[in-house]
Amino acid sequence: MSTEPILTARGLVKHYGRVVALNQADFDLYPGEILAVIGDNGAGKSTLIKAISGAIHPDEGEIRLDGEPIHFRSPLEAREAGIETVYQTLALSPALSIADNMFLGREIRKSGFMGRWFRSLDREAMERIAREKLSDLGLMTIQNISQAVETLSGGQRQGVAVARAAAFGSKVIIMDEPTAALGVKESRRVLDLIQDVRSRGMPIVLISHNMPHVFEVADRIHVHRLGRRLCVIDPKDYTMSDAVAFMTGAKEPPAEALAA
């Protein structure tokens, strides 16, 4: 690829006690692409994206955004740099409302006197935007935007987390299994949304175990195995069974994919 990657990682290492979650992992994301990350359970995919999004601190290795080395000390800093993440655990506050959750940490204040001097929140604005973002996702089976997230179904919660990331990401959006709990229709919406986001020029990292989804939307597929990047393949050149074979170690990846 001729352009420079927007986000790169080199030699990431992360230990959890004696478990090596990341073992010299590399990562490249190019502008405007959908990069799928696949791998067995426990391969280290979530750990990789947590290192990128500031949720954990790798023991070793280097991460660069737009060529500049970055050291996010918290997810907030990654977010301020434009990297928005849907975590596998969703990271929602169950007792707070949908609107509160979507705007957590970036609440909108009223514009006038009350907002300036008493820091009053603009609830109407936040609820309106939250409703818009959810309807974009076709999640209007949610009737009440001020209902607590814990009263939603698992798939609806996932929808809220995806909508939040899509609404606020400005540089990179990372989604850790965003469709795992979603129904057929809702999964389709999320895939459409992912493609929408790409058409706006924003790159997306999609972690998924769903091979048809991965092969449908991904421009490149990063295969993660035993804590490191095994290879990167083009979905047009390989079949799903090839990908699964690489992922599980049943088949050696081709040399040119290793170099990628």
Partner 1 sequence: MSEAGGAARGKQEFEDGLEKGDASVAAFESHEKTVLDRLQHFLHGNPTMVPVIVLLLSIAVFGFVAGGNFFSAFNLSLVMQQVSIIGILAAAQSLVILTAGIDLSVGASMVLVSVIMGNLAVKMGFPAPLAIGVGFVCGMLAGTLNGFLVTRVKLPPFIVTLGTWNIFFALNLWLSGAQSIRSQDIDATAPLLKWFGESIRIGGAQFTYGSILMVLIFAVLWYVLNRTAWGRHVYAVGDDKEAAELSGIRTNRTLVQVYAVAGLVCAIGAWASIGRVGSVSPQSFQEANLQSITAVVIGGISLFGGRGSIVGPLVGALIVGVFNSGLRLAGVDVLWQVFAIGWLTIIAVALDQWIRKVSA
Ligand X SMILES: Nc1ncnc2c1ncn2[C@@H]1O[C@H](COP(=O)(O)OP(=O)(O)OP(=O)(O)O)[C@@H](O)[C@H]1O
For partner 1, the binding residues (CB under 8 A) are: 55, 74-76, 79, 85, 87, 89-96, 100-101, 104-107, 109, 118-121, 140-141, 143, 150-152, 164, 184-185, 188, 192, 195-196, 198-199, 212, 215-217, 235-236
Q: Determine whether 20 is exposed, middle or buried from the number of CB atoms within 10 Å of its CB (0-12, 13-18, 19+).
A: middle
One of 1, 4, 16, 154 touching ligand X (CB under 6 A): 16
Q: Which does 92 bind (CB under 5 to 8 A by kind): ligand X, partner 1, Mg ion, none?
A: partner 1
Strand partners, 15: 20
Work out how close the CB of 50 gets to ligand X at its nearest, in angstroms, rounded to a whole number.
7
Work out how close the CB of 223 gets to partner 1 at its nearest, in angstroms, rounded to a whole number.
18
Rounded Cα distance between 247 and 38, Å, is 7
Beta strands in 30-91 (DSSP E): 34-39, 60-65, 68-69, 83-86
Q: Which does 19 bind (CB under 5 to 8 A by kind): partner 1, Mg ion, ligand X, none?
A: ligand X
Strands 68-69 vs 60-65: parallel, antiparallel or unpaired: antiparallel
Shorter beta-carbon distance to partner 1: residue 23 or 30? 30
| DSSP helix, strand, coil percent of the chain (3-state; round to 5) | 35, 25, 40
Footprint on this chain of ligand X (rule: CB under 6 A): 16, 19, 21, 39, 41-47, 88
